[in-house]
Chain A
Amino acid sequence: MKRWIAILAVIAIAAVLPLLLSPTGYWIRVLTFTLLFAAMAQVWNIIGGLANQTSLGHAAFFGIGAYTSTILVLKFGISPWIGMFAGGFLGGIAALIIAVPTMRLQGHYFALATLAFGEVMRVIANVWTSLTGGPVGLSVPFVPPSIAAYSFKQLLPHAYIALIALIIVTVIFEAIRRSAMGYRLRAIKENPAAAEVIGIDTTKVKLQTAVISGVLMAMLGTLYAQVAVFFDPDTVFSAASISIRVALIAILGGVGTAIGPILGALFIIPVEELMNDLFSSGAAGLSQLIFGVILIAVILWRPRGFITVFDSLMARFSNKARS
């Protein structure tokens, strides 16, 4: 019961926060991207945390979603809301195609295979100029603002959409974790051979998580495209700024927990922005260097993620409440 009150309180704070920021301002943009990256890291967490398959190719699904909805609106005038589901469908198929041959791979081999898949998608988007616009990228057209057309003059609605998306994917993550599927995944994570012996179809379970993760990641790609308005193959299929970053956010926050990716995103995105704000007018590249040093320091301080800080704080509070 207490737990639910705490969760509702956090959601309430998150719901009020965007209202305190200027609706056309800078911090609301940062907040929107923070929420989006938290959601993306949560989706990654489904396969990376629960199935213990470190994917470094989630940009592939993400980019498919961004491109699908944007191409549909550009060529056929179809609302990005519908495009989002079309993208999700294609993202799911892509996840299936990539998962079938790679799911048998473990650890580094799986990571490298998925990394290559993201890169393949980037090259395809670069070359298939007639469909994707090639390396020049695509601009989401500015249509008269309306909810149905997923077009807003201000960033405020985008911040709320990102918040709702984060809540939805977090609920999905938690539901999977607590379901029978979650138990199967944990069994596979602990000992794949033993899981097979007790009758778990490990390949099938892993495939299911991969497809769920792919579908959701592609749908988030649409949200990203609507906020960023312009993107090119290097942006949405980027290994460094999408694939590795979402993995980093989840790992820094705490892999396999629902709160981890949220804590990770709340740290990484604003700190990265702040470093750019404070140091990028000085020596070239200084801001990224400082950001890198901070990341290293944080990982050395909390190798198991921010979740450990969070847990010890929680423990302290409940102890105090009892005494």
Chain B
Amino acid sequence: MSKTTSHRGGLSRRSLLAGTASLLASPMIVSSARAQAKPVNIGVIMPLSGANAQFGINSRNGIELVADEINAAGGIKALGGAKINLIVADATSTPTTAGTVAQRLITQNEVTAILGAFASSLTIAISEVTERRDIPLLTMSFADQITGRGFKNIFQIVAKASALGKAQLDYTLAIARASGAKIDKIAIMYEDTAYGTAQAAGLRAAAKAANIDIAMDDAYPLGITDTTPLINKLRASGAQAVFPVSYLNDSLLLIRTMRQQRITIPAIGGAAGYVIPDFEKGLGEFAENVLSIAPANYDLAPDLTERFRKRFGYFMVHEALEHAVALDVLVQAIEKAKSAKAEDVTMALRGAKFTGGWTKAMTGGAVEFDSTGLNTLSVPVMAQWRNKELVTVWPKDVAKGTAVWKS
């Protein structure tokens, strides 16, 4: 492309065109320089702008940490110490753009695999491209559809949204029972995104199975600015526990309004906005004792996750942790396949069990994909805010502390 530009150009604009041409050619020069070391290109597609940018940045940090560690330790041994070369790209918040970006990474950068893209809708759009091009896609997006479509090249590292929703309710009941409280009436509030609706459906089904009355079941638009009507309804409902499922800003608004109105019933968040440092920063003391379901938590493997805190200055949020695990598993698969070819790596990933390294940080202590690509060993955990940290309080066998339940 750059060549045609410079040939067609007139003499008077030569310098301008030369500048443009070199700008256009710069990615090619960079990639050819790297090609001499034969690195393995791995695509990282994250929402780096828009509403979910913070989650995308967290995820990228986790991936960069692992990539740098592996490279520093001598790269991929089976490929003669080949270095990992991350190609990071912005998925924005539009699924179609995410798909186009995936197409670019596959054809321009010849990536072995792609990691991404936090938000389920972006991941689904990317998977439509990777599936047609037979490139493995490793993700920590929750949506059930991700591994529910019979795709062969997708790997979901965490439990599905419906399982998270079910655990959110079941764990809560168990925690309440353990502290001598009884719940028979709950409230559900969720944002009307793919993640919110899927997780709410899991909550609803679990509540029905446990014979619990859902006194309030309300969807609200992402980016809601006034939660007072919701909170008024919550007060009137007489619920003994509230299950909000939302990203960051909504979660801050909901909990703040609730506590300011002196509604002190336990709040059990649905991961996302409830388990990142900004939640505590935005709410201060109101955050204390708020519970949240999470696909993983950093306190289960402090020896690994403290490295993240040391480098980036905040605790290793779950999306960073799961993406770190995803990259570790991918590299293990490349080592096993002794090849950086996408189809060999997919073969090595499918149906295999991965242990050691970052997989220890997951519940189950390992990662094993079934034929749909779902990690069957991953079990959600319940975390609670205690003095600016998230403490795993359930299930009992992995818990690092006892849950505080004040009803």
Q: Chain A: residues with CB nearer than 8 A to chain B? A: 22, 24-27, 29-30, 33, 123, 126-127, 129, 134-137, 139, 142, 153, 228-232, 234-235, 238, 241, 273-274, 276-278, 280-281, 284-285, 287-288
Contact = CB atoms under 8 A, between A and B. Distances in A.
Given A228-B99, A284-B56, A135 B197 contact: yes
A228 B104 CA distance: 14
Contacts of B108: 26, 277
A235 B96 contact: yes
A230 B124 contact: yes
A222 to B, nearest CB: 15
B371 to A, nearest CB: 19
Size category of the binding interface on chain B: 35 or more
Instruction: List the 6 closest pairs (A to B, CB-CB), nearest first.
Output: A280-B90, A285-B49, A284-B48, A281-B88, A26-B104, A229-B128
B89 A29 contact: no
A228 B107 contact: no
A136 B194 contact: yes
6 contacts: A127-B219, A136-B198, A238-B94, A274-B24, A280-B88, A284-B48
A280 B95 contact: no
B8 interface: no
Contacts of A135: 121, 192-194, 196-197
Interface string B119-140: 0110011001000110000000
Given A26-B108, A136-B145, A277-B89, 13 more contacts: A127-B192, A129-B197, A134-B197, A135-B197, A139-B124, A142-B132, A229-B128, A232-B121, A241-B94, A276-B101, A284-B90, A285-B90, A288-B90
Contact of B95 (A134, A230, A285): A230
Contacts of B104: 26, 273, 277
Contacts of B48: 280, 284-285
A45 to B, nearest CB: 22
Given A29-B103, A228-B96, A235-B95, A276 B192 contact: no
A266 to B, nearest CB: 14
Nearest to A30: B100
Interface string B181-207: 000000000001110111000000000
Interface string B258-298: 00000000000000000000000000000000000000000
